[in-house]
Structure 1
Amino acid sequence: MSDSTVLTAQDLIAQYGGIALDKQNDLAAVIGDNNWNADLEQGVISFGEHIVFPIQILGTFSHSSETFLWGWANTASGIPENLLQDALQIKQYGEKTGLPLFTTSQFDAAVNDVHYIGLIASGMLGSSAYYVADYGSGALLVTIKSPLIDEARTETPQRVLTVFPQLISLFEMNHQQALAAYLKAKGFEVTAKDKELSATYNSNTIVATFDELHRLASLNGNLS
């Protein structure tokens, strides 16, 4: 995570959103339909008896007040300091780059905003995934780093054709910038010219076109 270039929140979701959303598929494949249980003293979240991941706590979302509270500002909950390192790293980045999203202790939000933060944080920090653990009155946003998820990852070029349209339907961003970043993160060689982008990975090819506002016009792939 470099501080040499000042990026807006839209730049960050474009830079990291694709590969982070892609990783959520790997998490889903590992945890299946199991319910979650968190143990903050141990610093873990579990999905059944045998699937246990170490976590970092980013913050909490309240359904009643529709606000998000960063973990480093949640002094009332007594969150262990060692579980706040990711949140503090994000805050530090916000302080250096002047991004209020990362430095405002509590702000109005919707559930979609929680996923927005989760995707950016997961991508920036190289997490295996993020998880929104809903507990009824609110939800706990955590990042997860685990070989169990990383090793479940398979090279699936086809996933681009479903993940990317989902990403741009959820959040505002520069589509051309976002697709290039996503493809590069998946190991594609990307060539961009004006309103066109082409990418190759082994025998796989993806071609996209964009309008004058860098919005996706077409996305096609020759994938094996």
Structure 2
Amino acid sequence: MSFLKKLFGKEEESPKDNPLQSANQEHGKTEQELLEQYGGIGLDKQRNLYEVIGNNAWNADLSKGEISFGGQLAFPIQVLGTFSHSSKTWLWAWANDKSSIPPNLLQQALYLKNHGEAHEIPLLKHSEFDAEINDLHLIGMIASGMFNTSAYYLADYGQGIMLVTFQSAIIDKNNSNDVARISTVFPELISTFETNHRNAFKNYVTRKGYTIDQQENQIVAENNGKRITAAFDELSRLTKLQA
């Protein structure tokens, strides 16, 4: 089963970080560039989440601006939007007038909207559109990377799914720079989403703290004695990944 299908669970108290931290970086100006920029690190953070969470039920309290799991763990959230199982449509939280979402929980969603309008990115600027589950993961990965959150979460409430991001010191402690993590996450990313493999790999390992040596047909990434080499063909498609 794909790791993308297993992200439901548990958590605990975390610092109240600025929901727009790191948002002043230079971001991709197309959906493809954003995926290449943040897809790897966004999916990597979900590994941290899955290692922490269990099978506990979730509960969201929008008045408190938090999501809790199993009655024990709670985290401050930003609400990105919702997906309807019946209509198969995505609705951005800033356009959801019926849910009365507190304005302070919409900061990341509104930043993404403004970025989408500035660069004509349909995924980010249109209030509602036909969607698939992978679109939620794409939005979650972009937001998680852009705002340096600990993870994103797909909260399924039966009729639909609420997509949120949140901060958690516990999740962050599970971060791994081991090459085995990269060797697992990156192939899943490029098998799930169409992207320029070379650009996505370069951005991913750089954000993991690796220094890179770019050669004509490969990238060698190193971090504290750990090395991983990715080879690509003339179309920048991955041909070999060796740790």
When normalised by structure 2's length, the TM-score is 0.87
Aligned pairs (5 A) from 1:179-198: 179-198=201-220
Aligned to 1:44: 66
Match of 1:22 among 21, 25, 44: 44
Letter in 1 for 2:185: V
* Aligned-residue RMSD, C-alpha: 1.4
Aligned to 1:53: 75
Q: Distance in 1 between matches of 2:39 and 2:199?
A: 11
Aligned to 2:141: 119
> Deviations along 1:163-218, whole A, 9 cap, x unmatched?
00011111111000001111111111111122211111111111111112111111
Report the Cα offset of residue 4 of structure 1: 5.6
CA contact (8 A) 1:6 1:97 kept: no
Aligned to 1:156: 178
Q: Distance in 2 between matches of 1:155 and 1:79?
A: 36
CA contact (8 A) 1:3 1:96 kept: no
CA contact (8 A) 1:128 1:149 kept: yes
CA contact (8 A) 1:3 1:97 kept: no
Aligned to 2:17: none
Structure 2 SS opposite 1:168: helix
Identity of aligned residues (%): 52
Q: Distance in 1 between matches of 2:27 and 2:177?
A: 30
Task: Count matched residues.
Answer: 221
Letter in 2 for 1:74: N
Displaced runs of 4+ in structure 1, greater than 4 A? 2-6
Alignment CA distance shift 1:117-1:202 (3 Å): same
Aligned to 1:9: 31
Q: Distance in 1 between matches of 2:166 and 2:179?
A: 24
Aligned to 1:78: 100
Deviates more, 1:212-221 or 1:2-11: 2-11
Alignment CA distance shift 1:172-1:50 (3 Å): same
Aligned to 2:238: 216
What residue ranges of structure 1 are gaps of 5+ in the alignment?
A: none
Letter in 2 for 1:129: A
Aligned to 2:128: 106
Aligned to 2:6: none
